[in-house]
Amino acid sequence: MSLNTKSITELRKLLVNREITPLEIINDLEQAITANDRKINAYISYDFDQARKAAASADLSLPLGGIPIGIKDNINTIGQPCTCASQILADSYTSPYDATVITKLKAAGAIPLGRMNMDEFAMGSTTANSSIKITNNPHDLSRSPGGSSGGSAAAVAAHTAIATLGSDTGGSIRQPASHCGIIGLKPSYGRVSRYGLVAFASSLDQIGPCSKTVKDAALILNAICGHDEMDATSLRAETPDFTANLTNGIKGLKLGLPKEYFSDQIDPNITKTLNVAIDILKNAGAEIVNISLPHTQYAVATYYIIAPAEASSNLSRFDGIRYGNRAKQNSNLINLYKDSRSQGFGSEVKRRIILGTYALSSGYDHKYYEKAQKVRTLIRNDFTTAFQTVDAILTPVAPTTAPKHGLNTDNPLKEYLADTCTIAANLAGIPAISVPVGKDESNLPIGIQILAPHLGEDIMLQTAHTLEQNL
Has 72 been annotated as catalytic?
A: yes
24: Cβ–Cβ under 8 A, 6 or more apart, which residues? 3
For residues 13 and 4, what is the distance between their CA atoms, to the nearest angstrom?
14
Rg (CA), the chain: 21
- Please say if 172 is a catalytic residue: yes
- Give the Cβ contact number of residue 1 at 10 Å: 10
Sheet holding 432-439, edge to edge: 43-45, 111-116, 68-72, 164-168, 206-211, 183-186, 432-439, 445-451, 392-396, 254-258, 287-291
Q: Is residue 316 annotated as part of the catalytic site, yes or no?
A: no
Backbone angles phi, psi at 365, to 5 degrees: -60, -40
> Taking the mean position of all CA atoms in its chain, how far away is CA 413?
21
User: Phi/psi zone of residue 320: left (φ > 0), alpha (ψ -120 to 50 degrees), beta?
Assistant: left
Spatial neighbors of 19 by CB under 8 A, at least 6 apart, are none
Determine if residue 198 is left, alpha or beta; phi over 0 gives left, psi from -120 to 50 gives alpha, anything else beta.
Answer: beta
Choosing from 148, 188, 211, 234, which is the catalytic residue?
Answer: 148
- Catalytic residue, chosen from 6, 72, 104, 106, is 72
| Catalytic annotation, pick one of 172, 178, 193, 434 | 172
| Sign of the torsion formed by the C-alpha atoms of 204, 207, 210 and 215 | negative
Could you tell me which of 209, 29, 181, 231 has the C-alpha nearest to residue 108?
209
What is the three-class DSSP state of 167?
A: strand
The answer to whether the beta carbons of residues 71 and 115 sit under 8 Å apart is yes
Show which residues are catalytic. 72, 148, 172
